[in-house]
Structure 1
Amino acid sequence: MRRLMIVPVMLLGLAAGSASVAQDMPERRVTVSGVGEVTAAPDLATITIGVSEQGQTATDALRANTRAMQALFDVLDTAGIEGADRQTSGLNLQPIYDHSEVRNGQGPRIVGYEATNTLLIRVTKLPTLGDVLDGVTVAGANRINGISFGLSDTDALMEEARREAVEDAMARARLYVEAAGATLGPVISIDEAGGVSRPQPEMAMARMASDMSVPIAEGEVGLNARVNVVFAIE
Structure 2
Amino acid sequence: MRTILILAITAMTTLAHAQQIEPTVGVTGEGKVIVVPDEVTISLGVQTQGKDAAAVKSENDKAVDKVLDFLLKKNIPQNQVQTEYVSLNKNYDYNTKVYNYNASQTISVKLKDLSKYDEIMSGLVASGINSINGVNFGSSKMDTYEAEARKKAVANAKVKAQEYAGVLGQKIGKALQIAEQGTNTPQPQPMYKMAMSESMDSSQRTLAPGEMTISSKIQITFQLID
Give TM class, smaller chain: 0.7 to 0.9
- Pair 1:100 & 2:89 matched: no
Q: Percent identity?
A: 29
Q: 1:57 to 1:173 in 2, by over 3 A?
A: same
The aligned residue for residue 44 of structure 1 is 39
The aligned residue for residue 133 of structure 1 is 121
SS of corresponding position for 2:203: coil
Q: Name the TM-score, length of structure 1 as normaliser.
A: 0.77
Distance 1:94 1:24 in 2: 70
Contact 1:54 1:115 in 2 (8 A): yes
The aligned residue for residue 172 of structure 1 is 160
Q: What is the CA-CA distance between 1:232 and the residue it aligns to?
A: 1.2
Bigger drift between 134-143 and 23-32 goes to 23-32
Q: 1:211 to 1:87 in 2, by over 3 A?
A: closer
The one-letter amino acid of 1:109's match is V
Corresponding residue to 1:184 among 158, 172, 178: 172
SS of corresponding position for 2:64: helix
SS of corresponding position for 1:191: strand
The aligned residue for residue 196 of structure 1 is 183
The one-letter amino acid of 2:187's match is P
Q: What is the CA-CA distance between 1:95 and the residue it aligns to?
A: 2.6
Q: Name the TM-score, length of structure 2 as normaliser.
A: 0.79
Q: 1:24 to 1:87 in 2, by over 3 A?
A: closer
Distance 2:91 2:205 in 1: 32
The aligned residue for residue 228 of structure 1 is 219
Superposition CA RMSD, Å: 2.5
Cα offsets for 1:99-133 (capped at 9, x unmatched) = 136xxxxxx432x4221111111111111012111
The aligned residue for residue 78 of structure 2 is 83
The aligned residue for residue 28 of structure 1 is 23
Q: How many residues align?
A: 201
Distance 2:17 2:124 in 1: 74
Cα offsets for 1:40-86 (capped at 9, x unmatched) = 12121111111112233112112221222122122212322231111
Corresponding residue to 2:134 among 140, 146, 149: 146
Distance 1:115 1:224 in 2: 41
